[in-house]
Chain A
């Protein structure tokens, strides 16, 4: 039985403007897990929000066609009247919380529905157990880790016993382990509760193995199908699928196990991977005994880091392990309790903020914090002025990083990737030798990550020293020369990126899991195939 049907649905924010979605026909069956994928800004979120009426009720705009939930049209119904049928979990759980403690948060939806106290109490207990968060019941929702918050947010909509669960990028802010946890929870829900789940997710590699169908949103059109078939022509695809496409494996492998067995029966003939060019120059930044302490909590514990010109150093580790603290301490404006940093004989912490940024530039985690003007042109002009650079410098940098961004666009209207490029250009306008990027891959889809990787490679090529913190192993494999893994304020592993990634199965990129530790990225495989072809 179809739980949701979209019949010839089109949506546009205003009648004269472009349509976001055009003639969408979609039917979801009871109990299936559907992944919605597509590039950032392709209309994924719009599609998800149609299922409970947030689009068009909350977003404005015109919706044509019919949305049918369990045989009943919901066009014109506000989301609140569908609360007992559709559970919607937005992207950032923290800003969606209404209650202060976990229990209050779980009960909120039921209070709105007017359930009696006994039922509420029983369902809260069931949900706490179902999601494994019973020990957190009295905790403040703000004090939880990202993964716990996400599970609470899911629990908060489950207590109303919805038939359809809609999740908008539930793991985009989580580290790999927490993300795995949340996704495992979601897949268990589909098994245990016979719940229909619709999920939008950037990190497809972790979800693809257990989804029933994939809906691909591209140019306002939606097509849905079996994962192995739908992914053949998807604009976004996890490395495993790209490898499968490259090798011509059919059906496309969706999990590492599938791919291994495909590789056995249908082996890829490859030579040796080309040794990675190491372009390590002289030392640009050298930090000794860095300590960062907040009250009694030691965030960074006597860490030594060397950063060389022309290299990209990846900083990895779970959320809260001290990555950001270390970066801010190195930049000089952040807190540093002990230790020294040496950039060209100066310690950035001894300098004024203005001078420190000429030595070390930092792109913070929420890059938009740096932006405050109404247009890209204004931002660039202000950056030139702050840096004392010639007019047009920042714009030229931006064009090199991400060509073709309209001058008059509001920075808030840019895509994540474009906004990141703008902030990076502003930071680079002061011509720092050392550039630090804190979690730049957040919210970027595969093509955008690829563009970022090329940007960083280009900067390294121009003799900048680059340090980038990230959770994304695939990205590290693509871009990093060296890698450092931090845990609980300490460095637990460091060395060449290839070695660090190969050392631990948790950090191994998908390509190495399939082809062996000497292979890290699709690009390597592709290059080896091409050179192999030309040799033959």
Chain B
């Protein structure tokens, strides 16, 4: 290193985007934005764009954890939904209008008098098949968007980011998450072992031979887990003054009353309006306050929380932009959003471009951590 460089040109800081895990809430907001957009339209072009965008982002930004591999399953699931919708339309037929062109005719199955008005098979029209197709595609796109969130967001981190007052609920869910694979293992093991005692027969006794050992196993395991959590400090009370506990309790009860009355007022149109929004508002306000009060006395910390940075904001922003953009664009082009089934669905550049905003996280968010990056020690 030279010590006497007379003039240092100030180096421009190099921006490096390091691989890291994005906050799961960011992925969920992005995915729900996309899903909301999908729910606003039956135009197959827009829906296909949304699915494609989701697939691209997943492909670019998923890690290699088990949940990350689930996206393909959601794609298949979407396809099955579309097929089922179309098949239903064929079976339950019915033309969409007087001049709906008939694609092909199947022998119609007459139904008894009680079910009049429903026709099985019969003429299959283009309109009904297209309506089924569009509808199915919309549902499939919704599910695929949720699937994208599932494969991108770490479910455990999601649970870890719930407010401290709900910590116990979160822990229960975390434990359930880890118990499930164990339960599956133990069912597999017991089913295998059962054959060593000969054919089990049928019915109750056969089920019993699996259920009893599995439950005994599960019970034993949960006792061990509970003992282990207890001895590691789970549920340490510390010293909460009685006054604080009273405060939290009171806030919580007021919140519950507000929410209950408010939602009743909101749902029942004949109830006075004063019971609807104002009460709901009060309920939410107090709920937040009680959570805050409860959270304040919790003496627990989090290891390695994920900070909200540019990547998170870009994901949230693009997801919301797609939903809001399509809402406004759709209001002006209702015919494009819900295309009639008797003509080719319209392809309008504006409404196709808006969902493409959702693809930005594929570039703007940091890449996901992969296991091979952490294997250098082996």
Contact = CB atoms under 8 A, between A and B. Distances in A.
Interface of A: 52, 54, 57-58, 78-84, 86, 88, 90-92, 94-98, 100, 103-104, 107-117, 120-121, 124, 134-135, 137-139, 142, 156-157, 160, 328, 331, 333-334, 352-354, 356-357, 361-364, 366, 368-373, 383, 386-387, 412, 426-427, 430
B370 to A, nearest CB: 10
Contacts of B174: 98, 100
Nearest to B221: A95
B209 interface: yes
B378 interface: yes
Given A92-B224, A100-B156, A372 B192 contact: no
11 contacts: A83-B232, A98-B228, A100-B156, A114-B299, A117-B303, A120-B303, A135-B375, A354-B198, A364-B193, A368-B217, A386-B197
Nearest to A383: B197
A82 B230 CA distance: 10
Contacts of A333: 192, 195-196
Contacts of B304: 103, 107, 117, 121
Contacts of B231: 52, 54, 79-80, 82-83, 86, 88, 157
Contacts of A157: 231-232
A112 B230 contact: no
Q: Which of B199, B232, B235, B302 has the most CB of A within 10 A?
A: B232
A373 B212 CA distance: 8
B301 A371 contact: no
Contact of B225 (A79, A95, A372, A386): A95
Contacts, number: 173
B156 A103 contact: no
Given A110-B301, A115-B301, A83 B216 contact: no
Contact of A160 (B209, B225, B233, B375): B233
A219 to B, nearest CB: 26
Interface stretch (B27-35, B74-82, B175-183, B341-349): B175-183
B230 to A, nearest CB: 5
A433 to B, nearest CB: 15
B229 interface: yes
Interface in B169-221: 171, 174-175, 177-178, 181-182, 189-190, 192-199, 208-209, 212-213, 216-217, 220-221
B106 interface: no
B371 interface: yes
Contact of A368 (B213, B229, B305, B377): B213
A85 to B, nearest CB: 10
Contact of B377 (A92, A135, A383, A412): A135
A58 B195 CA distance: 36
Contact of B236 (A81, A334, A372, A426): A81
Given A109-B232, A111-B300, A353 B198 contact: yes
A58 B235 CA distance: 14
Contact of A371 (B182, B192, B213): B213
B301 to A, nearest CB: 5
Contacts of A121: 303-304
A interface majority secondary structure: helix
Interface in B335-378: 369, 371, 374-378
Given A98-B175, A107-B303, A115-B301, A354 B199 contact: yes
B234 interface: yes
A252 B212 CA distance: 48
A112 B181 CA distance: 25
Contacts of B227: 54, 58, 79, 90, 96
Contact of A353 (B195, B228, B299, B375): B195
A112 B224 CA distance: 18
A83 B197 CA distance: 44
A402 B218 CA distance: 28
A479 B209 CA distance: 33
B301 A426 contact: no
Interface string B300-316: 11111100000000000
Contacts of A92: 224
Contact of A114 (B224, B237, B300): B300
Contacts of A54: 227, 230-231
A171 B64 CA distance: 32
Contacts of B374: 135, 137-138
A334 B191 CA distance: 11
Contact of B301 (A111, A139, A357, A366): A111
A345 B224 CA distance: 47
B232 A160 contact: yes
Contacts of A361: 196
Nearest to A364: B193
A83 B231 CA distance: 6
A427 B300 contact: no
B232 A369 contact: no
A351 to B, nearest CB: 11
B178 to A, nearest CB: 7
B212 A372 contact: yes
Contact of B224 (A80, A90, A108, A373): A90
A363 B374 CA distance: 40
B197 A112 contact: no
Nearest to B374: A138
Contacts of A356: 195
Given A88-B231, A160-B233, A354-B198, 11 more contacts: A80-B234, A80-B236, A81-B237, A98-B229, A100-B178, A121-B304, A157-B231, A361-B196, A363-B196, A364-B193, A366-B193
B300 A112 contact: yes
Given A95-B182, A334-B192, A353-B198, A369 B213 contact: yes
A54 B227 CA distance: 7
A105 B156 CA distance: 13
A95 B302 CA distance: 22
Contacts of B235: 80
B224 A134 contact: no
